[in-house]
A and B are shown apart, each in its own frame.
Chain A
Amino acid sequence: MSQFAVPWREKPEPSHGFVSSFIVALAKGIYAIATPIVTRFPGSILLSAVVASCFLVWAHALLFSYVDTAVLERAAEVGAANPNAFGYFSPSTWGLPPSVIGTLLAGDAAVEGQSPGLLSYLLWPVQFGFTRDMIAFGAIFAWFNIVPVYVIWWERKVAGRIQSRLGPMRVGGWHGWAQSPADGIKLVLKEDFIPDAADSILFRAAPYFAIIPSALAFVALPFGVTYIFREVDVALVFILAMLGIEVMSVILGGWASNNKWSVYGGMREACQMVAYEIPMGMALLVPVVCVGSLSLKYIGEVQADGWFSWLAFRNPFAFVAFVTYFIASLASCKRAPFDLPEAESELVAGFLTEYSGFRWALFFFAEYAAMFVVGGLATIMFLGGWNSPIPSDWGAGLGESIWAKGLKGILFSGPIWFILKCVFFLFLQLWVRWTLPRIRLDQVLYACVQVLLPLTMVLLFGTTLWVWASESGNATWDVIASIVSKVLGIVGLAFGFGFVAIAGYGFYHRRRLVGNLVIDPLPGS
């Protein structure tokens, strides 16, 4: 450095440390490798990702069920003495019984006394609950991260299409697929800024009150009969409680920011919560009364007989409750038209005004994860959960072989259907957001307290009467009920086909809706 060096000419010190440099290098590397590949084969990669996910789900289900069967068989063979106090085989046997390998490799014609091979060593940990928990935790954690990142990207694409523009197109090549991860990396690397006047501890804590409950909600959310991290008897109440805690983060963050706009946002959220929570809970009680259980697994299982057995089509009250719940769930996620806490045109950014960087990203993660959770609740409580619209007994002709079981698992029930339905609800939420203006606070209160609350009370009362009448065993009533159920199912089908038709019309005429002046600009311009 020469003596003539002036401060503003000096090369600035890198302001980030090893970790952030590492993240940047990693991102750059992935970007450099993945971008050309994804840009060249986007369709094949998307398709193979979906197929691979289906295969993973299927293989994992098969594996678990066979280990279960083998363990039970072995337990029956050796009696209760050999398994240890926890119900597992003692490590001294060090591996699954030979019949397992035999079953896996040669079907039922397994040779007794065959020595355990490599596969048994690999499969041995699967019999322990802890191992399964770890696998399930990995899956849930990955899903919890993938959902917000790619729903945000998808939302931007959907918004772009609705607004006759393209949305993100650059980052990562193919349709800006890497836009969201890139935004995430940028947000993580930003300065962790806390205003001087803010309540530092609460300000730091608030995002965790958002992210942790929304992650915990996934614990009790069933993706399929066997795809539940923890089966809770009162799973519905648990998930509603988690969504309720998330509200605290908004109030906390709004208060701790020490900004008047933030306080407005927090108070609005408190106000809104009082208004929508009760109709939302009451609307969810309607299917609970129909089924008689708070366990989401049980509620899903009773809807296995195809489209007309789904709870939304059980009785007219449940059908209306479905719509009511969807409206209230929008308010629960702070989605438009109920996005009052962060109303941009009124409150700058509401409770998020002072947040930036990683903490801001945490709020967004929580919001999009919660969107998935409320969509999942709607799916399980009203739209058949993980069951396909085709009745499951239609698959009886496929037989009982391994492959048939796997195929049936994918076709007739399973996480794929659950995720598809959730994606449909996510799309509804995006569609509503990019179409409707925002409601005013007094109108939210009016709608929730004076319209939805009495309505859901009537629905709850009506459905109670309906269930009471159904259980009385009157033959005439059963005929009437089944006719009403069929009519509702057909109305639902009409809505479904209408939705597909509208979407198809829009897609088919996507160029005409914009007009040729955009595609063919003036020569002078």
Chain B
Amino acid sequence: MAETTFESTPDLLLDHDRVEQGDLQTEELLVNMGPQHPSTHGVLRIVLRTDGEMVLEAEPHIGYLHRCAEKIGESVQPYQYIPYTDRMDYIAGMNNNQAFAIAIERLCGVEVPERAKRIRVIMAELNRIASHLVALGTYGLDMGAFTPFTWCFREREMILDLFEAACGARLTYSYITVGGVHDDLPDGWVERCEEFLDFFEPKIVDYNNLLSFNHIFVKRTATVGVITAEDALAFGLTGAALRATGVRWDLRKVTPYDGYEDYDFDIPIGQDGGIDGVPRGVVTGDCWSRYYVRILEMTQSVRIMRQALKRLEEGPIEAKKVKGIKLPADEVYVEIENPRGQLGFYVQGDGSAIPARVKARGPSFCNLAITSHTCRDILLADVPAIIGSLDVVLGEVDR
């Protein structure tokens, strides 16, 4: 890793003729934030150049959790690689499974049964809610509020119970496989899921009352870390971070997959404060917008799931003859909408059962790139606010 270098800034203070030797002056300090810092969401290391409480420059250093996730994909068969995709973005395992499964299906031309598509959508949206709950809760922690964290995890626990009932795992599911899903839903699962949705929807109001519209929270996050739409597009931001800047871009609408075109839902975007219940002082693209877009997305996920549960019909859950399938000498690049943004998989086949090349485009990795651009001339307390609002998962950044 290259040594940390910063551009030397002209020391204007000392050039001033009124400044004499021995006068009071401040010194810049290099502070190492992480990789064991409580609010870097894992093993992110940020080197801060600070002047007192002011952060002049922040440079993220990554790679502490590198596990050769892409290289492994080039030595195992696709259905064996599914569990490795879980470990990339371990907060949203279902969505990662789905992305890789769709990539292989497109490459090989596998047709997924209708019921499997519905179940995939239900699982993906459930996991989107679970992932957003983690994001909201830990963002509360970053702001010094502990209670939203436990409230969010209380509801996430119920989602994990549903996952466990469906596939036996609570974090790394490997449930969505190439050609469909691994197991059918157990008896009573659909009713239980509907019960959960009824329970969960009012809870969003609770989160809003407790954290979203809390005056201190709004003051801490509004106008902090503002990202313009141009910057967001230039840095390749996706997901809630992009939508918070006012760009209405969601792959579930733009390039629908797994039957998302059948469902009726909206794409929430960030907006200036004062209208639609958004507090005054909020600017499009600031930390509060990114936070609130996730809250709104949870409502939309509930909407999608209600429709999918209603349309769930009996039928096969997996396409036939998927194991050991030969990958054609072709290439495919598929992007889907992960809770954190666009997760892309590039897979190249060479006629054998093992891919010649696997490459992932991680939303956390791309979103994290804007850190050093945004964390300039801010206060120290704003650094966790910005990092937390980007909602990165370091397992996926480092892969």
Q: Does A437 count as interface, using CB distance less than 8 angstroms?
A: yes
Binding site secondary structure of chain A: loop
A525 adjacent to B161 (CB under 8 Å): yes
Contacts A345-B144, A441-B53 given; indicate if A164 touches B31 (C-beta within 8 A): no
Whether A517 contacts B196 by the Cβ 8 Å rule is: yes
How far apart sit A515 and B216, CA to CA, in the bound complex (Å)?
Answer: 28
The reply to whether B38 and A345 form a contact with Cβ atoms under 8 Å apart is: yes
B379 touches A438 (CB 8 A): no
Q: Mark A252-286, 1 if CB is under 8 A from B, else 0.
A: 00000000110010011000000000000000000
Chain A hits for B381, CB < 8 A? 340, 343, 346, 438, 440-441
Distance, CA A439 to CA B151, complexed state (A): 21
> How does the 8 Å CB contact mask read for B145-161 relative to A, with 1 for contact and 0 for none?
11101110010011001
Rounded to whole Å, the gap between the CB of A316 and the closest CB of chain B is: 24
* 478-525 of chain A: CB within 8 A of chain B: 514-515, 517-518, 521-525
User: Complex: how many Å from CA A522 to CA B162?
Assistant: 8
Q: A163-B151, A346-B39, A348-B37 are in contact. Are A436 and B165 (CB under 8 A)?
A: no
Min distance, Cβ A372 to any Cβ of chain B, angstroms: 22
Which among A260, A264, A348, A522 is the interface contact of B161 at CB below 8 angstroms?
A522
Binds A, one of B12-20, B135-143, B293-301: B135-143
**Complex CA distance for A434 and B143, rounded to whole angstroms:** 12
A271 to B210, CA, bound (A): 29
What residue in chain A is nearest B221 (Cβ atoms)?
A: A437
Chain A, Cβ-Cβ closest to B29:
A260
Is B38 within 8 A of A344, CB to CB? yes
Residue of B nearest to A514 (CB): B154
Q: B192 at interface (Cβ–Cβ under 8 A)? A: yes
Q: In the complex the two chains form, is B165's CB within 8 Å of A522's CB?
A: yes
Which one of B141, B146, B164, B220 contacts A440 once the chains associate, using CB atoms below 8 Å?
B220
**Interface code A417-442, partner B: CB below 8 Å = 1, 0 otherwise?**
00000000000000000111111111
Contact B382 A440 (CB under 8 A): yes
Check if B126 is an interface residue, CB within 8 A of chain A: no
CA distance A336 to B217 in the complex (A): 13
Known A-B contacts A260-B29, A260-B31, A522-B192; A162 and B147 likewise in contact (beta carbons under 8 Å):
yes
Residues in B neighbouring A261, C-beta threshold 8 A: 31
- Could you say which of B39, B196, B217 has the most chain A C-beta atoms within 10 Å of its C-beta? B39
Chain B positions 98 through 119: 1 when the CB is less than 8 Å from some CB of chain A, otherwise 0? 0000000000000000000000
Q: Which residue of chain B is the closest to A443 with respect to CB atoms? A: B219
A165 at the interface (CB under 8 A from B): yes
A345 with B154: in contact, given A337-B216, A522-B162 (CB under 8 Å)?
A: no
- With A337-B144, A348-B37, A514-B154 in contact, do A436 and B216 touch (Cβ < 8 Å)? yes
CB-based contact B147/A435 at 8 Å: yes
Q: Among residues 302 to 343 in chain A, which have CB atoms less than 8 Å away from a CB atom of chain B?
A: 336-337, 339-340, 343
Assembly CA distance A163 to B216 (angstroms): 19
Interface residues of B in 150-199 (CB under 8 A from A): 150-151, 154, 157-158, 161-162, 164-165, 186, 188, 192, 195-196, 199
Q: Are B144 and A163 in contact (CB under 8 A)?
A: no
A525 interface neighbour in B37, B144, B165, B188, Cβ under 8 Å:
B165
Interface size bucket, A side?
A: 35 or more
Residues of A contacting B150 in the complex (Cβ-Cβ under 8 angstroms): 163-165
Contact A345 B220 (CB under 8 A): no
Q: Return chain B residues, CB-CB under 8 Å to A346.
A: 39, 380-381, 383-384
Q: Does A24 contact B (CB under 8 A)?
A: no
Of the listed residues A162, A267, A442, A525, the one surrounded by the most CB atoms of chain B closer than 10 A to its CB is: A525
Instruction: Report Cα–Cα, A83/B143, bound state, in Å.
Output: 66
Bound form: Cα–Cα A521–B379 in Å? 44
Is the CB of A159 closer than 8 A to any CB of chain B?
yes
Q: Are B195 and A163 in contact (CB under 8 A)?
A: no
C-beta contact mask, B10-36 vs A, less than 8 Å → 1, else 0? 000000000000000000010100000
CB pair B214–A437 under 8 Å, yes or no, is yes
Q: A441–B216 contact, CB under 8 A? A: no
**Most A CB atoms within 10 A — which of B157, B161, B216?**
B216
Also in contact, A524 and B165, with CB within 8 A (given A438-B144, A517-B195): yes
Q: Which of chain A's residues have a CB closer than 8 A to the CB of B29?
A: 260
> Which chain A residue shows the least CB distance to B146?
A434
Indicate if B211 sits at the interface (CB-CB under 8 A).
Answer: yes
* Residue from the list B38, B144, B192, B196 in contact with A437, Cβ < 8 A: B144
| In-complex Cβ contact of B145 among A260, A340, A436 (8 A) | A436
Complex contact B382–A345 (CB within 8 A): no
Q: Given A163-B146, A344-B144, A437-B211: A524 and B164 within 8 A (CB)?
A: yes
Tell me the smallest distance from the CB of B138 to a CB of chain A, in Å. 9
In the bound complex, CA of A514 to CA of B155 (Å):
10
A75 to chain B, nearest CB (A): 61
A347–B162 Cα gap in the complex (Å)? 37
Q: Which residue of B lies closest to A446 (CB)?
A: B219
Nearest residue (CB) in A for B380 is: A346
Inter-chain contact A339/B144, CB cutoff 8 Å: yes
Are A439 and B220 closer than 8 Å at their CB atoms? yes
User: Can you name the residue of chain B whose Cβ is closest to the Cβ of A264?
Assistant: B380
Complex formed: what's the CA distance from A165 to B153 in Å? 11
- The CA-CA distance from A522 to B167 in the complex, in Å, is 13
Q: Which A335-391 residues sit within 8 Å CB-CB of chain B?
A: 336-337, 339-340, 343-348
Write the nearest CB–CB distance from B161 to chain A, whole angstroms. Answer: 4
Bitwise, A206-226 to B at CB < 8 A (1) or not (0) is 000000000000000000000
Most buried by A among B31, B53, B214: B53
* B164 and chain A: residue at smallest CB distance: A525
Question: Given the complex of chains A and B, what is the CA–CA distance between A339 and B161 in angstroms?
Answer: 36
A343 to B216 alpha-carbon distance, docked (Å): 15
- What's the Cα separation between A436 and B151 when bound, in Å? 14
Q: Closest Cβ of chain A: how far from B160's Cβ, in Å?
A: 8
A517 touches B199 (CB 8 A): yes
Q: Contact between A345 and B53 (Cβ–Cβ < 8 Å)?
A: no
Closest to B186 in A: A524
* Shortest distance between the CB of A359 and any CB in chain B (Å): 21
Residues of A within 8 A of B53 (CB): 264, 268, 441-442
- Chain B residues within an 8 Å CB radius of A339: 144
Of all chain B residues, which has the CB nearest A268?
A: B53
Find chain B residues with CB under 8 A from A336 CB.
144
Complex CA distance for A410 and B309, rounded to whole angstroms: 64
Query: In the docked arrangement, what's the CA distance between A344 and B38, Å?
Result: 7
Q: Which residues of B contact A260 (CB under 8 A)?
A: 29, 31
Q: How far is the CB of B26 from chain A (nearest CB, A)?
A: 11
Given contact pairs A522-B164, A525-B161, a sample of 4 additional A-B residue pairs in the complex whose CB atoms are under 8 Å apart: A164-B150, A437-B144, A438-B381, A440-B379
Q: Can you give 14 contacting A-B residue pairs, CB < 8 Å?
A: A337-B144, A345-B384, A437-B143, A437-B145, A437-B217, A437-B220, A438-B144, A438-B216, A440-B379, A443-B220, A518-B157, A524-B161, A525-B161, A525-B164
Report, nearest first, the 9 A-B pairs whose CB atoms are least far apart: A438-B144, A524-B165, A163-B150, A437-B145, A345-B39, A437-B143, A525-B161, A440-B381, A345-B142
Residues on A facing B (Cβ under 8 Å): 159, 162-165, 260-261, 264, 267-268, 336-337, 339-340, 343-348, 434-443, 514-515, 517-518, 521-525
